[in-house]
Amino acid sequence: MEAYCVKCREKREIQEPVAAYNAAGAPVTKGTCSVCGTKVYRMGRTDAHEGLPKPEISRKKEIKRKGKLVIVESPAKAKTVGRFLGKGYTVRASVGHVRDLLRSKLSVDVENDFEPRYRVPNEKRDVVNELKKLSEKAEAVYLATDPDREGEAIAWHLMEAAEIEEDRTHRVVFHEITEDAVAHAFAHPRTIDMDLVDAQQARRILDRLVGYGISPILWKKVRSRLSAGRVQSVALRLVVEREREIDAFIPDEYWSIDADFLPEGGKTSYRAKLAKINGNDPELGSEDAVNKILDDMRESVYTVDSIKHGKRRRNSSAPFITSTLQQDASRKLGFTAKKTMSVAQQLYEGIELDGQGTTGLITYMRTDSTNISDVASNEVRNYIKDKYGKEYLPKVPPKYKTRTQSAQEAHEAIRPTSVMRKPKAIKKYLSRDQFRLYRLIWQRFVASQMNPAVYKTLSVEIIGEGAENAYLLRASGSQLEFPGFLVVYEEGRDEDQTEEDEADSDTIPIGEIKEKQKQTLEELYPDQHFTQPPPRYTEASLVQALEENGIGRPSTYAAILSTIQNRGYVVRENKRLEPTETGFLVNDLVVEYFPSIVDVNFTSHLEDDLDLIASGEADWVEIVREFYGPFSERLAHAEEEMPEKKAELQKVGRECPKCGHDLIIRWGRYGKFISCSNFPKCRYTEPYLEKIGMTCPECGEGEVVRRKTRKGRTFYGCSRYPDCDFTSWKQPVPTPCPNCSGTLVIANKRDVQCMDCEKTFLQDKVLKESEMA
């Protein structure tokens, strides 16, 4: 029998061989080198091992574990939670997800129950390795990721990637980062909820199947860098269909008639509106029809038919959920959905306050529940009673119906963690955006727990008897009697929404009017109108439409809006969402070849199926299989039948300075740019400048162009930059300032403001006077 001798550096015959077992329990033969006498041994069982007792295998020394490891998503959250837990706890941040599907491949085995293939990205390997080392030394590991499906999935991926034993892993959930909430969560840990993990995993896999299935077809048939998503495609369809409604809209002419009356023996006139003609709604579609009515009304006799007094109660809105927060922040603060969620995340994770350390200011901001905890309810009720008085406090705390049937009732609405942290008191610790959003959340929450506003209402009906027709005119108004919640907050409105007519009832001389009293007609006011097309979506109204149709969930709204804009399918102009040519093209192809993907009802039902998975009532593999069968057939059909619809190259109207070919507009990763049509032979490019039709007011040579910052914010500058550094966040107009001849910019829908003297003017008046000059 031979063995390798390290001294002779070759195999030698074993002298005096002895059969044995090593420390690991493996059979070996020991001996010495027959040439030099050096000890040698050889691995492997021999006949000599038969009957030889096998030694007990020495076990590895057990690791002495000490302390507790807590893993959260963000460093800010880690800092806040760590302060509450104190000694004995090590708090670390995973910085979001630590595993995901491979980016370069589908990473879903459609032949094997859609098994996903996860990978720790290169940029997360150091984080995972550190968490793995820390977890090995800890006696217990607490996964304190966010209290939703995404957070549950992150917790599961952390346990898998860092190889943390299940019996040492605890899941803790809190909806606000306060000392009491954190202490309660750690006193009641649970295991990871695999139903929630499966629901998130099913959503991720469905989105991957759709995106990685349709997108390559669009690259081939239309152009590269396009994408289609399971939910983003529905949002795009809503925007495109609204634009087509607007384009197809034909306005109808209609007229209204107001009248000024003076009560018999009275001194004060008032205005009423024509409501009925011969008991029917007025149909005044032309000026000729109106003139005939006016002639008859002028000769009619008018008397008061009835005077009705009443009261109207206006209830406060529910505390914020994710969708309503995004909507109101858009209307009142001008925030995009993405910005709203970013700032809310900062408020949730914690802000450094003097004497209090890093403190979470609001509850979790991804929620669809309007519930309020008893502790928060008692605190705000005491505050309302002390601040405003008993008359502002309802006898019973208000309860609001949750909009979404699938809302997670264990969650709470978005509210301040303590109503006693009044916005003004902590303003100095917050950035401007943080303060404005916190104030909005604080005001909405307090108002939601207050009594309704009460209005006194008045309605006067006047009957007119004419030679040809009988007329009913109505004067109405309301007067605020008790402000209620309005002392704190009033919900924002879209520009398209018309506020209820709440004219002060003092304008109607109620002391001079009596029933059956004659009224003298003083003047008639005919007014021509045209029906208006439906408005383009704002981010706020699109989120509302998605929510009403059951599309997406609180954690997805901001991502949906960002995606359709980043892909170049939709642009945001003056807060309105307009589809681009590419958006129309992609939508039409997806609608034709993948109708179920962009069907609102189908997508809504799929969201319901995900909710069933989350509640343990459905199997995620079966849901995905049911979807993928018909979808894969559609993919094959589209691959064969979808025609090539390359978007026509838009010429700039100039020649390439390098080779003389036409310059054209192309789409890249970051939007439009100008390139040579002779690409790839000629690689000349230049930025795309969107001109607004105005000469630069600073240098007088360049043109004012619309640009975007790296974060997507629109601003205006000179096309000669950097030679001219004129910039403005607001759109300039060619008309000079009437006061100082400076540059005017559009301040809002109604006003323009001078950049030099800062005076404000009515937009319509200034621009009309400029046209007439």
In this structure, are residues 438 and 325 in contact, taking their beta carbons and an 8 Å threshold? no
Q: Which residues carry out catalysis? A: 364
**What is the distance between the alpha carbons of residues 234 and 548, in angstroms, rounded to a whole number?**
13
**What is the distance between the alpha carbons of residues 577 and 337, in angstroms, rounded to a whole number?**
13
**What is the distance between the alpha carbons of residues 674 and 664, in angstroms, rounded to a whole number?**
6
**Residue 405 pLDDT:** 47
CB contact set of 442 (below 8 Å; sequence gap of 6+) = 416, 419, 421, 422, 423
User: Which residues share a beta bridge with 746?
Assistant: 752
Rounded CA Rg of the chain: 36
Q: Scanning the structure block, which residue is given the tokens 């914010």?
A: 713
**Tens of pLDDT along 526-543?**
999 999 999 999 999 999
**Residue 220 pLDDT:** 86
Residues in the chain: 773
The DSSP H or E segment spanning 631 is: helix 620-641
**Residue 571 pLDDT:** 86
Pick out the chain residues at pLDDT < 70.
57-63, 402-410, 492-506, 646-649, 667-671, 710-712, 768-773
For residue 272, what are its two tokens?
Answer: 């009423």
**Residue 62 pLDDT:** 62
**Residue 691 pLDDT:** 82
For residue 13, what are its two tokens?
Answer: 């015959």
pTM here is 0.76
Q: How many of the other CB atoms lie within 10 Å of CB of 109?
A: 11
For residue 660, what are its two tokens?
Answer: 């003389």
**What is the distance between the alpha carbons of residues 362 and 661, in angstroms, rounded to a whole number?**
58
* Main-chain phi, psi angles of 20, to 5 degrees: -160, 180
**Residue 403 pLDDT:** 56
Share of the chain residues as helix, strand and coil, in percent rounded to the nearest 5: 35, 25, 40
**Residue 501 pLDDT:** 39
- Work out the burial of residue 56: count CB atoms within 10 Å of its CB; fewer than 13 is exposed, 13-18 middle, 19 or more buried: exposed
**Residue 638 pLDDT:** 93
Residue type (1 letter), 185: A
C-alpha neighbours within 13 Å on the C-beta side of residue 526: 19
CB contact set of 593 (below 8 Å; sequence gap of 6+) = 634, 637, 638, 641, 642
**What is the distance between the alpha carbons of residues 361 and 344, in angstroms, rounded to a whole number?**
9
In this structure, are residues 763 and 752 in contact, taking their beta carbons and an 8 Å threshold? yes
C-alpha neighbours within 13 Å on the C-beta side of residue 513: 28
For residue 251, what are its two tokens?
Answer: 């306005």
For residue 291, what are its two tokens?
Answer: 């003139």
**Residue 7 pLDDT:** 85
Contacts from 292-298 at CB under 8 Å and sequence distance 24+? 292/468, 293/257, 293/469, 294/257, 294/524, 294/526, 296/466, 296/467, 296/468, 296/469, 297/257, 297/259, 297/464, 297/466, 297/471, 297/521, 297/524, 298/521, 298/524
Q: Scanning the structure block, which residue is given the tokens 């307009």?
A: 578
**Residue 51 pLDDT:** 83
The DSSP H or E segment spanning 707 is: strand 703-708
**Residue 390 pLDDT:** 95
Q: Are strands 27-33 and 39-43 parallel, antiparallel or unpaired?
A: antiparallel
- Sequence-ordered strand ranges (E) for 517-629: 518-530, 570-573, 576-579
**What is the distance between the alpha carbons of residues 725 and 594, in angstroms, rounded to a whole number?**
48
**What is the distance between the alpha carbons of residues 164 and 130, in angstroms, rounded to a whole number?**
12
For residue 672, what are its two tokens?
Answer: 């439009």
**Residue 722 pLDDT:** 83
Q: Three-state DSSP class for 144? A: coil
